[in-house]
Structure 1
Amino acid sequence: MERLDAFMARANAAYYAAQDPFADFTTAPEISQVFGELLGLWAAVIWQAMGSPDPVILAEAGPGRGTLMADALRAIGQMAPGFRAALRLHLVETSPRLRAEQATRLPGAVWHEAVEALPPGPLILLANEFLDALPIRQFVRRGAGWTERHVQDGAFVELPAAAPGLDAGEGEVVERGDAARALAASLGARVAETGGAVLLLDYGPAESAAGDSLQALRERKPVDPLVAPGTADLTAHVDFQAVAEAARAAGAAVYGPLPQGLFLARLGLFQRTGILARTQPPVRAAALLDAARRLAEPDQMGRLFKALALCHPGLPPPPGFDA
């Protein structure tokens, strides 16, 4: 028997080491090249606001196939060549399979096992759908007390536990993402001390709320997250309020969370997509516009997904958060 967060960490480590995650889900960079381009130009504006340090670390946590960063670097090279020359590319990735794929798209990158292993210095870090895969704990209100979920033989076992810090009604589940909060505190302290910014894009509510959000996908279909660990992608909603509070307590200025659709629209998602579409045949142009709507429309990814920025307190509000 093991606590849910230990089970989730073990299952996802095995999954990303042995499976092709993109057989099970699709992320925003794979939907539209404009997503990565906009984030690259976002980073370029941040670099200029930092005083254009040379060198500067441009990092991505959970870079997938390397699609986001490849699109970002292409846009940076075209629009901000000074930033392109100054940046040193670092990737946080534990999967040997994904590292090999990233290397084909991102020559010259340096890989790390954890965010904490990134070298010192000014940092701009992008993380899309990274926090949702970090392990969570789950607590259940039982009468006047609480239990915590553990996993044994493919089923939950509840053991008595201290209150999790968020109240709930009888039988309701409260999730706590200790790993995400610890990471936010570490990154918040880093950018506050050495300069830079972190952009987090993921899915979850803007404010902490009770509810069971643990899910698993295999072959793009929901499956039981407790069965056959290591063969499905396990994720949970990000508690953006808790992440923001942890980073702010560590000294960072925090912006957001904003709905992803609003954030991307402010960065120029539809204008850039329209420019691309005008150069394409009608079928391809329609596909580009459909992809942009998928990223931004409230009934698709635009509302559930959020953007959160952690910045050095001396920086102005970052692009997308300054309206």
Structure 2
Amino acid sequence: MSDATPSLPELIDMQIRANGPISIASYMALCLTHPHQGYYKQADPLGPRGDFMTAPEISQMFGELIGFFCVNLWQQMAEPKSFTLLELGPGRGTLMQDALRVATRAEGFGDALHLQLFETNEELKAQQAIRLSQYNPYWPTEIDAVSGDPLLVVANEFFDALPIRQFVKGATGWHERIVGLKDGARSFGLSPTPVPNSAMPEAVHNAAPGEVYEVSLAAADVMQRLAKAIGRLGGAILAIDYGYAPTRTGETLQAVRRHAYADPLEAPGEADLSAHVDFGALATVASDASLTTQPLATQGDFLKRLGIVERARTLSAANPGETGNISAALARLTDAEQMGDLFKVFCAASPGLIPPGLSS
């Protein structure tokens, strides 16, 4: 970036001065996906040197069990000779590398596989290409640019990064929270124009003044496009993220930088912005496309039902020197006070498919 090119914070401030305050969704989109300075357009954000850790980076067990999950559904679909496996936001390719190492042991799975990776970060694409080269991956530019084959979708920590809008309950209706400038600094405010209660989901009609309702139109659009494809082609979408169901009020927008919470307005483009996923809203969209949704499960329960405890024992027996690390990873992924309860598992599938790990 040359000296003459404004920084992303400067660009955002210039836009606000020129056109007035912007929605939180517009602010998040600029911070995360600006073509040149957005957070997800820059360096690798993962790992100890980055800003956060994801489950696949904690242990190979996570991806291995996702691989088993995919094989199970492929077998339930009568082992189609050609199918698409699409991962949304694949990171370094670690999850899919671990998943396919397991899944391709099933006869016919690897030959039938068409791997697609939806990614916008060029550095991460390069890492994915190295890790997954043997599977001949393809990077679509549109999220639903899939072939006419059955479709399995995996989305780990993807939906939480999609932009949200926030509305605050007032005396005469709801007011959208916006980002403006106060004394030259970015600050949150409220639109003076009220939104009637009738325009909000019934689940929040009885909200008290001051309560916050978050909605992600981007997440609903992604789910609608993929659900329509799955409804037409057959298959399932598995999404793992922090979130909740049913739809409710609550303020969850957060910024993370160097493994610590930060002010969402302080350093646009330099911090990860995210919000909890309204899985109840996504379930409604999937159901409208005639998919069957499973009850929301915790990550801990899901992984335990798929056999992570047994897998940890096997790994420890084969690598006795790593027993402590394996036990620590197991606890981090499944314990209620760590990732086990915070992260939820959502699945919408073609009628008749029974996703493993999502029923007791």
Q: Does 1:319 pair with 2:347?
A: no
**Residue 114 (structure 1) shift:** 3.4
The alignment status of 1:286 with 2:324, answered yes or no, reads yes
SS at match of 2:139: strand
Q: Supply the RMSD in Å over aligned alpha carbons.
A: 1.3
Matches within 5 A, 1:66-215: 66-78=93-105, 80-107=106-133, 108-153=136-181, 154-159=186-191, 160-162=193-195, 163=197, 164-165=200-201, 166-167=204-205, 168-215=207-254
Q: Distance in 1 between matches of 2:107 and 2:101?
A: 10
Q: Determine if the alignment matches structure 1 residue 239 to structure 2 residue 278.
A: yes
Q: Match for residue 88 of structure 2?
A: 61
Unpaired segments of 5 or more residues in structure 1? none
The question of whether the paired residues in 1 share the 8 Å contact of 2:162 and 2:216 is answered with yes
In the TM superposition, what whole-angstrom CA distance separates every residue of 1:113-148 from its partner, at most 9, and x where no partner exists? 332223332101111000000010000011121110
1:15-34 alignment runs, 5 A limit: 15-22=39-46, 23-34=50-61
Select the residue among 250, 261, 279 that pairs with 2:300: 261
Structure 2 partner of 1:310: 348
| Counterpart Cα distance in 2 of 1:191 and 1:182 | 14
Give the alignment's TM-score, normalised by structure 2. Answer: 0.86
Tell me, in whole angstroms, the C-alpha distance in 2 between the residues paired with 1:258 and 1:109: 30
1:257–1:308 CA contact under 8 A, matched in 2: yes
Q: Distance in 2 between matches of 1:120 and 1:218?
A: 41
Q: Deviations over 1:158-180 (max 9, x none)?
A: 11242432232111111011111
Q: Which residue number in structure 2 is paired with residue 248 of structure 1?
A: 287
1:7 corresponds, among 5, 27, 30, to 27
1:112 and 1:245 mapped to 2: Cα distance? 26
Task: Tell me how far apart the structure 1 counterparts of residues 213 and 326 of structure 2 sit (CA, whole Å).
Answer: 39
Aligned to 2:64: 37
TM (norm. structure 1) is 0.96
Deviation at 1:209, TM superposition (A): 1.9
Structure 1's 287 and 142: CA in aligned 2 closer, same or farther, altered over 3 A? same
Q: Distance in 2 between matches of 1:133 and 1:120?
A: 28
Task: Name the count of aligned residue pairs.
Answer: 320
1:286 to partner: Cα distance: 1.3
Structure 2: unaligned runs, 5 residues or longer: 1-20
Match of 2:315 in 1: 276
Q: Structure 1 residues 51-60 or 129-138, which shifts more?
A: 51-60
Aligned-residue offset at 1:271: 0.4
What is the distance in 2 between the residues matched to 1:135 and 1:302? 25
Q: Is the CA contact (8 Å cut-off) linking 1:19 and 1:231 kept in structure 2?
A: no
Paired residues of 1:40 and 1:73 also in contact (CA < 8 A): yes
Aligned equivalents of 1:77, 1:52: Cα separation in 2: 13
Query: Residues 7-53 of structure 1, C-alpha deviation per residue, up to 9 Å, x if partnerless?
Result: 11121110010132110000000011010000011101101111111
Maintained 8 Å contact 2:172/2:194? no
The one-letter code sitting in structure 1 at the alignment partner of 2:115 is L
Distance in 1 between residues matched to 2:97 and 2:107, nearest whole Å: 15
Moved more, 159-168 or 188-197: 159-168
Greater Cα shift, 254-263 or 160-169: 160-169
Q: Amino acid of the residue matched to residue 21 of structure 1? A: P
Runs of 4+ with deviation above 6 angstroms: none
> How far apart, CA to CA, are the structure 2 residues paired with 1:83 and 1:289?
31
Q: Rg larger in 1 or in 2?
A: 2
Give the secondary structure class of the aligned counterpart of 2:244: coil
Checking the alignment, whether the CA contact within 8 Å between 2:81 and 2:108 is kept in structure 1 is: no
Q: Name the SS for the 1:112 alignment partner.
A: coil
Could you tell me which amino acid in structure 2 is paired with residue 242 of structure 1? A
Give the distance between the partners of 1:230 and 1:120, measured in 2 at CA.
Answer: 37
Q: Is the 8 A contact 1:192 1:313 kept in 2?
A: no
Q: Give the 3-state SS of the residue equivalent to 1:116 in structure 2.
A: coil
SS in 1 for 2:115: strand
Query: Equivalents in 2 of 1:3, 1:113: separation in Å?
Result: 26
Counterpart of 1:155 in structure 2: which amino acid? S
Give distance in 1, aligned partners of 2:78 and 2:124: 34
